[in-house]
Amino acid sequence: MKKCILLLCAVLAVAQAFSQPDNPFFPAKRLITTGIYYYPEHWDPNRWERDIKRISEMGFEFVHLAEFAWFKMEPEEGKFDFAWLDKVMDLCAKYRLKVVMCTPSATTPAWMRYQYPETFLMNSQYIRGEHGTRQLSSVVNPVYRRLVARIVTQMAQRYGKNENVIGWQLDNEPEAKHDFSPSSQEAFREWLKKKYHSIDTLNTVWGNAFWSQWYNSFDQIILPNVNLVGWWGSNPHAVLDLKRYLADAQGEFLDFQAHILREHISSHQFITTNYTAVSTGADPRRTKLLDFATYTAYPNGGTYNIGQQGFRLGNSNLILFAAEYYKSVGGVTGAMEIQPGTVNWGNFTPLPLPGAVRMWLYHIFAAGGKLACSYRFRQINYSAEQYHSGIMETDGETPSPGGYDYMQFMKEMNILRKEADTRAPLPEKLAKRSTAVLWNLENYWSFDQQRQTRQWDNWNYPVKFLQIARSLGAQADVVPETADLSKYNVVIVPAYELADSGLIKNWQDYAAGGGHLVITCRTAAKNRAGYLWEAGWAAPLTALIGARITAFDMLPDQYYGDVQTKSGHYKWNNWGDLLQPGKNTETLAVYNDQFYKGAAAVVQRKLGKGTVTYIGVDTDDARLEKDVLKDVYTAAGATTEQYPPGVFVYWRDGFYVAVNYSSDDYTMPMNSAAKILIGERTVKPGGVLVWKE
Ligand code: GAL
C-alpha cells in the first residue's frame, strides 16, 4: 500500500511537471482566448452596437480598447470624458465580450505638444518630435510622467474593478527608442552615476584612455550618438551602456504605469504589454511588474521565405522565436496582434495564401499561446493605415479572408477545448528532447556594433538553433542565463559573446551533471563590459570545450570553404573558428581547404556525466549544425525527427499541432493509433494538422 502511494505521488509529480502549468489569468481548459482590436473613436457611434454585436457573433471572446484614445478620454488638460467608453463597455457586456483595456501613452493629445513640448523625445540630429504620430514621447521626461500617471490613475479608478475587464495592456509596442532630449541626457547621467559611482571607474570600464575620451566628471557625458559621429567614433562599451540605459528606462516606464494600476485594479485583471516579435531595443526581462509579456506578429511584410509560395506564407521564424522568448516573463505569452491580411508597410504587400492567417493563429496556439488577438476589426477608410486590412472589409459588414480564417480557428478551438487533456504528461520521447536555447539582448547589442562580416546575422543566428531543434522534433524554450538548466537534456548556447566566470561555471556544472551542452562560435569572447580577455581568444572557454580557439576566419559572400565530417562535406563562409583540440577532445569536423586545412571546426568532449560540443563554424544552410545536433540528441538518448524547413510540430494539452510554412505538401509520419482532430495527414502549404496519439 505504502509503495502504491509513493508510486502515485511520483506519477502525479511527473504529470504536474509536464502538463500546462496553471495560470491565474487563463484557465487551462480554455486553451487560448481570442480577441480583436476595436477603435470606437474612429467610427460614428451609431455603428458601435452593430460592430460589437458582430464581433461577438463571429466568436471573439474579448475586445481590445482605448489604446490610442487619449485625446478622447482627456480632451483638454485635466478634463476627462469617459462617457463614450462607458457606452462601449456596456455594449461589450451586453454581447458577452470581455475587455482588455489599454493605457494610451503611445499617442498623446495635441494640447500636450502645445503646452509641454519638452515631453517629446529628440532624435540623433537633436530634432524634437512633433504632434501627429505615435511613440514620440520621452519616457523619462517628468512632465510626461506626471500626465501619464494622471490618465492611468483615472482609467484605473474607473475600470479597475470592472468585472468585465480581464486585463490591461500598457502602451503600444514599447521600443526603447533612442532619445537625445535634455531629459534623457540627464536620466542617462543619473543611470551612470548609480552604476559606476565614480567617474574614474566609468573611464576605466568604457576604456576612455582610447582617443582621449576621458571624462573629468559625469556632467561632461552626453548620450553616445553613433549616427552623428559615425561608426569609427562609437565606443562599444559606452554604446552597450546606452542600450542598457534605454532598455532600463523603457522597462521602468512600464513598471511605473503597472505600479499605478496595481494600486487600483482587482487581482483578476492582468497587466501586460505588446512587444514587437522582433524587439531589438526593449527588453521584456527588465520589467518587474508585468504579469506576462505578449508580442505582435506580422509574419508577412513582403519577404520571400520558403519556396514559391513563401512570400504569401510569411516569415516562419517570427512566431517561432517570439512564442518562446516572451514566455521568459511570467511563464506564459500570447499574440496581442496578428496580421489579419495585407499590411500597409511591407516591402511589397501580397495577398496571404488562403488559410495563412489561420496557420499563424495555430502556430501561436501550438506554441502554448494563451491569447490570440488581431489588429484590427474594421479596415479603416481614412488615414495612415488605409491600406491595412482588417477582419472586416471597408464596408464594415463583410468579413475579409483573414476574418473567415479567424472564425474557423475560433470554431475549431471549441472542438479542441472538448478534446483537450490539460493534465496530460508530456510524451516521453519529447521529454527526452527537452532543449533550452540561451539568449539575451545584451549579446545582440554587442554584435550589432562589431559584426565583423556583413554575413553575421545577429538576430537570426540564435533563431537558427531554435529552428534546428524544432526540425529535429524537440520542444525548445528560449531562456535567460539565470534559468534552471538542469530541467533540459540539451542546452544550446549560440554566440553568447558577453560572459563571466560564474556563467561559464554554471554551464560546466550543467554538463558535468549529465547535460548535453552545445556552445557555438563567438561565445564568451568578451567580458560583460565588452572587453576581450587579456588572454587567448575566448580563453575562459578553453577548459570547458577542451580546445583552444587559435584564430577565426570569414570568407567573401560568394565564396565558400569546405568543412568535412565523417558523414560528408559542408559549405561555409560566415564565420569559422580554428580549433586546436586538447587530448581528450574529439574532432567532429575539420576545415578541408584554405591554408589552415586540417584545423578542427567542431569538437566534442565528455564532461562528468554529460558532453560539451563546440560548433566553431556558421553556415548559411545550417546543414552542418543540424547534423551535429542530431548526433547530440542521439548521444543524449533521444530520438529525432526530420521535419522539412517550415514544418513545425508542437505538443500541448494532449495534442500534436503541426503548421506548414513551406510551399510543398508534407505527409506527417504518424502511428496507427493517431486520431486526427483537425486537418489531414498531408498538410498543404499554409495548412494545419491537429492529432492525438
Ligand atoms: C503594429 C502596431 C499597430 C498597427 C500595426 C499595423 O506594429 O502595433 O498599432 O499600426 O502595426 O500593421
Helix (H, G, I), strand (E, B) or coil at 166: strand
Ligand 1 proximity of 172 Cβ (cutoff 6 Å): yes
Which residue ranges make up each domain of the chain?
26-179+250-419, 184-233, 433-635
pLDDT digits (tens, 9 = 90+) for 255-292: 999 999 999 999 999 999 999 999 999 999 999 999 99
Ligand 1 proximity of 337 Cβ (cutoff 6 Å): yes
Ligand 1 proximity of 343 Cβ (cutoff 6 Å): yes
Q: Count CB atoms within 10 A of the CB of residue 265.
A: 23
Closest CA to 450 of 177, 209, 224, 231: 231
Distant-in-sequence, close-in-space partners of 86: CB < 8 Å, separation ≥ 6: none
The predicted pLDDT at position 6 comes to 41
**Torsion sign (Cα): 228, 229, 234, 239:** negative
Cα Rg of the chain, angstroms: 26
Residues 255 and 139: beta-carbon distance below 8 Å: no
* Residue 303 to residues 275, 277, 348, Cα–Cα distance (Å): 21, 16, 8
Distant-in-sequence, close-in-space partners of 520: CB < 8 Å, separation ≥ 6: 465, 492, 493, 494, 495, 614, 615, 616, 618, 625
Domain covering 26-179+250-419 assigned CATH 3.20.20.80 in the classification: yes
**For range 640-649, the mean pLDDT:** 98
Where does 166-209 have alpha helices with state H? Answer: 182-196, 199-205
- 451 CA to middle of ligand 1, Å? 30
Mean pLDDT of the chain: 95
Residues 335 and 478: beta-carbon distance below 8 Å: no
CA distance linking residue 115 with residue 125, whole number of Å? 23
Ligand 1 proximity of 168 Cβ (cutoff 6 Å): no
- 132 CA to middle of ligand 1, Å? 16
Ligand 1 proximity of 173 Cβ (cutoff 6 Å): yes
CA distance linking residue 643 with residue 37, whole number of Å? 35
Residues 507 and 608: beta-carbon distance below 8 Å: no
H or E stretch at 33 = strand 33-37
CA distance linking residue 376 with residue 389, whole number of Å? 8
The predicted pLDDT at position 304 comes to 84
Angle at the Cα of 254 (from 248 to 259), degrees rounded to 5?
120
The predicted pLDDT at position 8 comes to 42
Q: Which residue has the cell 456596456?
A: 90
The C-alpha cell that represents 427 in the structure block: 510524451
The C-alpha cell that represents 258 in the structure block: 503597472
Closest ligand 1 atom to residue 274 Cα is: 8
pLDDT digits (tens, 9 = 90+) for 459-481: 999 999 999 999 999 999 999 99
- 362 CA to middle of ligand 1, Å? 21
**Torsion sign (Cα): 97, 100, 103, 106:** negative
Whether the per-residue pLDDT at 7 is higher than 70: the answer is: no
pLDDT digits (tens, 9 = 90+) for 160-193: 999 999 999 999 999 999 999 999 999 999 999 9
What residue's CA is closest to ligand 1, atom 3?
A: 375
Helix 83-94, helix 48-58: angle, nearest 10? 40
pLDDT digits (tens, 9 = 90+) for 10-37: 434 443 444 556 799 999 999 999 999 9
Ligand 1 proximity of 523 Cβ (cutoff 6 Å): no
Beta pairing, strands 165-170 & 270-276: parallel
The predicted pLDDT at position 662 comes to 98
Supply the DSSP symbol for 319. Answer: H
Distant-in-sequence, close-in-space partners of 262: CB < 8 Å, separation ≥ 6: 271, 289
- Which residues lie across from 575 on neighbouring strands? 618
Length of the chain counted residue by residue = 693
- For 251-261, give one letter per residue: b (16+ CB within 10 A) or e: bbbbbbbbebb
Q: In the CATH hierarchy, which fold is given to the domain comprising 433-635?
A: Rossmann fold (3.40.50)
- For the chain, percent of residues with pLDDT exceeding 90: 94
- For the chain, percent of residues with pLDDT exceeding 70: 96
Q: pTM above the 0.85 mark?
A: yes
The predicted pLDDT at position 3 comes to 43
- Which residues lie across from 577 on neighbouring strands? 552
- 217 CA to middle of ligand 1, Å? 42
Closest CA to 413 of 177, 632, 655: 655
**For range 575-600, the mean pLDDT:** 98
- 356 CA to middle of ligand 1, Å? 19
Q: Which residue has the cell 544550446?
A: 492
The predicted pLDDT at position 189 comes to 98
* Residue 474 to residues 323, 365, 483, 492, 656, Cα–Cα distance (Å): 15, 17, 18, 12, 12
Closest CA to 63 of 54, 73, 72, 75: 54
Q: How many helices (H) and strands (E) does the chain have?
A: 20, 26
CA distance linking residue 502 with residue 137, whole number of Å? 39
- Stronger pLDDT, 1 or 491, i.e. the higher one: 491
Q: Within 13 Å of residue 22, how many CA atoms lie on the same side as its CB? A: 3
CA distance linking residue 214 with residue 221, whole number of Å? 10
H or E stretch at 83 = helix 83-94
Pocket test for ligand 1, best of 133, 175, 375, 386 (most atoms within 8 A of CB): 375
pLDDT digits (tens, 9 = 90+) for 77-90: 999 999 999 999 99
pLDDT digits (tens, 9 = 90+) for 304-342: 899 999 999 999 999 999 999 999 999 999 999 999 999
CA distance linking residue 26 with residue 46, whole number of Å? 33
Q: What spatial distance separates the first Cα and last Cα of the chain, rounded to whole Å?
A: 32
Q: Within 13 Å of residue 653, how many CA atoms lie on the same side as its CB? A: 23
Residues 649 and 687: beta-carbon distance below 8 Å: no
Whether the per-residue pLDDT at 420 is higher than 70: the answer is: yes
What residue's CA is closest to ligand 1, atom 5?
A: 375
Q: Within 13 Å of residue 124, how many CA atoms lie on the same side as its CB? A: 11
Whether the per-residue pLDDT at 527 is higher than 90: the answer is: yes
Pocket test for ligand 1, best of 276, 385, 386, 391 (most atoms within 8 A of CB): 385
Indicate the pLDDT class of residue 44, thresholds 50, 70 and 90: very high
